[in-house]
Amino acid sequence: MLVPMRAVLEAADRYDYAQGAFNVNAVCQAKAVIRVHEMFRSPAILQGADLANGFMGGRKDFMNADLEDKKAGARNIAAAVKKYGSDSMIPVALHLDHGKNLDSCIAAIEGGYTSVMIDGSSLPFDENVELTREVVKYAHERGVTVEGELGVLAGVEDHVFSADSTYTNPLDAVEFFRKTKVDALAISYGTMHGANKGKNAVIRKEIAIAIKECLRHEGIQGYLVSHGSSTVPQYIVEEINGLGGELANTYGIDVNQLIEASHCGINKINVDTDIRLAVTRNLRELFAGETALRSSASIGEIYELLEKNRSAFDPRVFLTPVMDTVMHGSIPDDDVARICQCIEDGVKEVVGTLIVKFGSYGRAPKVETATLEQMAERYKKAGI
């Protein structure tokens, strides 16, 4: 069933495990994320980034997506999650990743998201507080979870870019929770957006420890989020390059560091790049093994885009020839079905591995299955 993300984070915090949160950009990705979580009896958090909503709204040049594109995409992603998750035996949350402004968050909520992130990390502290508090008021009235961000992560992901990191000050984090009443906070503690994190990236778990201890001392129930946390499996990178890709300096965060951080206050770990890599590897493998598909009327253009963009690994670059399949899940012929199978298999490979490593398998019964209406009433009673 669909639940507010707060319920999923409460269980992760109480039972001391990491909850992965996985970005999706197509209906078949959403299906695969839910199915593999069901297989492992794990709670699930699916994420649609702000510009992923634009892409799912039909905007092929998603970097230029406008609000109407995002509204349409939010409805499409939510429809897919509802289709595969509403009657599921596991709790499923749908979360907006890197909401750019209040309008983006409203579009996601109206579209059917049960959680939103407002990213005010580039703003001065007081302006970040003001923006986040505005989103919290709107969302909590509707039972929707809110995640904020404090501190700046280096790296590139959609419209999020910074050349340098600014670590989160634990004392500022406590004040941010107190002033905004936000449910969760993405912190900067050494992770980076994108696939070029550096070979020996080191996270500073002591920042998470300090924030969590200060929150406990102040009696604040808040949850911490690790962005830029893809592990970038090297075997997948090597396979992509062996199939004609040209990826360089492609490294992630050591999964053992993330597991350790999960026992130091980090409750949610965001993963996007790993999925992109596995799907891209599978697409290249399909066309390498079945050369007749390169001239397919329905998917041949996907092969051409793979060849033209050898250093790319974001499937959105390659999947524009099958936008109706991306947006609505339609499968007009066997060739498109093969593409969907590649996508689903890549998702399951990465997500299943991390469910096990993060320790969320078997935890579905631990999550309180609160509805948005019940959560809204809880917020109202608490004055937030």
Judged on CB neighbours under 10 Å (0-12, 13-18, 19+), 217 is exposed
| Angle made by CA atoms 302, 305, 311, in degrees to the nearest 5 | 130
Q: Are 326 and 26 in contact (CB under 8 A)?
A: yes
**Cα 345 from chain centroid?**
18
DSSP string covering 149-203:
EESB--EEETTEEESS-BPPPHHHHHHHHHHH--SEEEE-SS--BSSB--TT---
**How, if at all, do strands 160-162 and 155-157 pair?**
antiparallel
What are the two backbone dihedrals, phi and then psi, of residue 220, each rounded to the nearest 5 degrees? -100, 125
CA distance 288 to 381: 59
- Known catalytic residues are 97
Q: Which of 90, 89, 109 is nearest to 99 (CA)?
A: 109
DSSP string covering 105-120:
HHHHHHHT-SEEEE--
CA distance 75 to 195: 29
CA distance 203 to 227: 11
Q: Are 211 and 168 in contact (CB under 8 A)?
A: yes
What residue ranges in the chain does DSSP mark as E strands? 19-23, 44-49, 92-99, 115-118, 145-150, 155-157, 160-162, 184-187, 223-226, 266-271
Q: Are 146 and 117 in contact (CB under 8 A)?
A: yes
Per DSSP, the three-state class of 255 is helix
Q: Which of 38, 50, 44, 53 is nearest to 21 (CA)?
A: 44
